[in-house]
Structure 1
Amino acid sequence: MGLIQQLVAIIEGNLNSSLQVKELAERSGYSERWLYSLFLEETGMSVAQYIRRRKLTLAALLLRHTSIPVTDISLMYDFSSLQTFSRSFRQQFTVSPLQYRNAKAWDMQYAQPVLYRLAKDTEFKLMEIAEGNNLPALQNKKCIRLGMDFIHTTKEGRLVYNRNLFQSMISIYEPTYTMSDFMISGEMVPAEYTDSEIIYTFTEIRKSTQPEKLLPDGLYTSQKFKGTYEQIFEFQIYDAMGSLCNNKCILKKGPMYTLFHRTENEDIMNAQFLIPCLKT
């Protein structure tokens, strides 16, 4: 990991606390002034700005995908009051937390992606499907309790996303171990009796099948990645979501689609992420 990513790893693991730039400098072994100048030069924002933007971005994810009350979310990220949180949220996302939670689409240009990438070069493009298929019925459901520490931790030099969510996602893949080529359609939505639930379905496909034959009409972002199930999950969380932010995509509410094609190495998959978006 480079220095910026090392700093980001410390930040990400402390987003539920009032981590000060002085403390970050002490933990990294550099002076506060030098750290401020380096971070600003490399990222275009101060350390304090990045920390606040990341807190609000994770809060936005919880608003979008969970039923956790707004007050609890504000406390999770160490805001002094609900009013302070709501004011800061509106400043970054241009709408209130409640409006964001009830929206049908989200402008990703206002979110702050993690300054952490796994893949140096990946294909990102927009794809419009004019005569698509019907929306697949989402037949399966998995309940998720995220807990009160919706932050990233570090393990062996790598960032690790929320452990409960990671384990739930990996367990979903189990029925696909005997499949060669398939598509997973699904989304993470607020739940009544737990924080969230993933609703999803599998569609076994032929290797030569094109996405246009599988997906509903509309505009999609397309990104490709090759790796194990665990690596594909990491890519989805960091690189794929980061690309949505960097390309100022308007994310459409509803399921996303992932096409999997197994390689000669049965543990390695070619994955294509297709995420519904609105035209800007």
Structure 2
Amino acid sequence: MRARICNYILRWVENNICSGNGINELVLSTGYSRKTIELWFHKTYKMSLYSYLLRRRMTFAATLLKLTTISVTDVAYILHYSSHQNFCRAFKNYTSRTPTEYRKEEEWDFSIMQWTLTFSNEKETSYTLDKINEKYFSGDDIIVTDSLHQGGGQKLSSNIREIVESLWSENKSDVIVLFDMKDKLVRSLINIDSYNESNVYIKLKVGVLKEYYTEGDMIIPQGDYLNYVFSGSWDDYLTYSRPLYVKMMSKINAKLKNAPVYVRFLYKEKKLNNKSDHVECEFYSPINKVK
């Protein structure tokens, strides 16, 4: 019973990050007392329910601030704060910076981010912190649409799958998908009254990595990188790759540099020929060295 209720709570939180509903509304929907569900949640996840709900909302706020040009007032409205001032006060209490200060920082501080515990039963993913030499990327830009709300990411991941499988068939080699933090998301089709129905355009780069520079190549700077491997079905990738990235970055209190994040999708000829649903890819995220 406790496990079922805790799973319900996690789903409720994801569905209510932008609703303005609080724990009182959650309690009414469960039929249990507030004390009971808070106790069960804390015993299961070693975190208070209030803290988890706040952290998930602030994580979404931070994502909007770093990846879009939406005004701070609109972010406050999306998250159902009663005023711009109340949101700024809550954000500063949580992060020690105002929303504007956080947005303007050159790096993206993931130490404040809370990944969704919906996937807490997934197998633990190992990681390494590697020093990588300068590399050179050659490829093409593509524009795809995606949603930044809590259930987002699947449309983007589906587009990536189509592109990667096409290039695997054509080139018989690994495929690099790269997102440069300098390419801010383009605000588009955003309806702040119904943000879950809103989309943004995302610019990705798809191609190959090279050891030697030729004119027109993009330079991937040397430095410290968080490296981990995702291995599973494409369906798992569609639903889990975004939460996993937030989990891995926040786990080590990383600060994402203003430099390209890239993913190497490993070419497996046998699996491609057998139309396997399996995918394996390596994530490389440029970070300030973790102390």
The 10-residue stretch of structure 1 (258-267 or 74-83) with the greater mean CA deviation from structure 2: 258-267
For 1:234, the equivalent position in structure 2 comes to 239
Deviation at 1:140, TM superposition (A): 1.2
Counterpart CA distance in 2 for 1:233 and 1:217 is 29
- Of 93, 105, 110, 1:91 maps to 93
Task: Tell whether 2:122 aligns with 1:119.
Answer: yes
Greater fraction helix:
2
For 1:177, the equivalent position in structure 2 comes to 165
For 2:194, the equivalent position in structure 1 comes to none
- Structure 2 segments unaligned to the other structure (5+ residues): 191-199, 211-218
Q: Is the CA contact 1:227–1:269 (under 8 Å) kept in the aligned structure 2? A: yes
For 2:265, the equivalent position in structure 1 comes to 260
**Map of 1:49-68 to 2, 5 A cutoff?**
49-68=51-70
Q: Which has the larger radius of gyration?
A: 2
TM-score normalised by structure 2 residue count: 0.79
For 2:107, the equivalent position in structure 1 comes to 105
Deviation at 1:62, TM superposition (A): 0.8
For 1:4, the equivalent position in structure 2 comes to 6
- State the one-letter code of the partner of 2:184: V
Counterpart CA distance in 2 for 1:17 and 1:89 is 17
Task: Tell whether 2:152 aligns with 1:140.
Answer: no
- State the one-letter code of the partner of 2:141: N
Q: Deviations over 1:42-84 (max 9, x none)?
A: 3343222221221111010011111212111111111111111
Deviation at 1:268, TM superposition (A): 1.6
**Map of 1:148-187 to 2, 5 A cutoff?**
151-152=149-150, 161-162=151-152, 165-178=153-166, 179=168, 180=172, 181-187=174-180
For 1:271, the equivalent position in structure 2 comes to 281
Q: 1:108 to 1:192 in 2, by over 3 A?
A: closer
Task: Tell whether 2:184 aligns with 1:189.
Answer: yes
Percent identity between matched residues is 23
Q: Is the CA contact 1:219–1:279 (under 8 Å) kept in the aligned structure 2? A: yes
Q: Is the CA contact 1:109–1:249 (under 8 Å) kept in the aligned structure 2? A: yes
The DSSP-based 3-state class of the residue aligned with 2:37 is: helix
- Structure 1 segments unaligned to the other structure (5+ residues): 153-160, 207-213
Q: Deviations over 1:206-264 (max 9, x none)?
A: 9xxxxxxx953011111111124442243321122112112211111232111111443
Aligned-pair Cα RMSD in Å: 2.6
Structure 1 residue runs of 4+, over 6 Å off?
none
Q: 1:5 to 1:243 in 2, by over 3 A?
A: farther
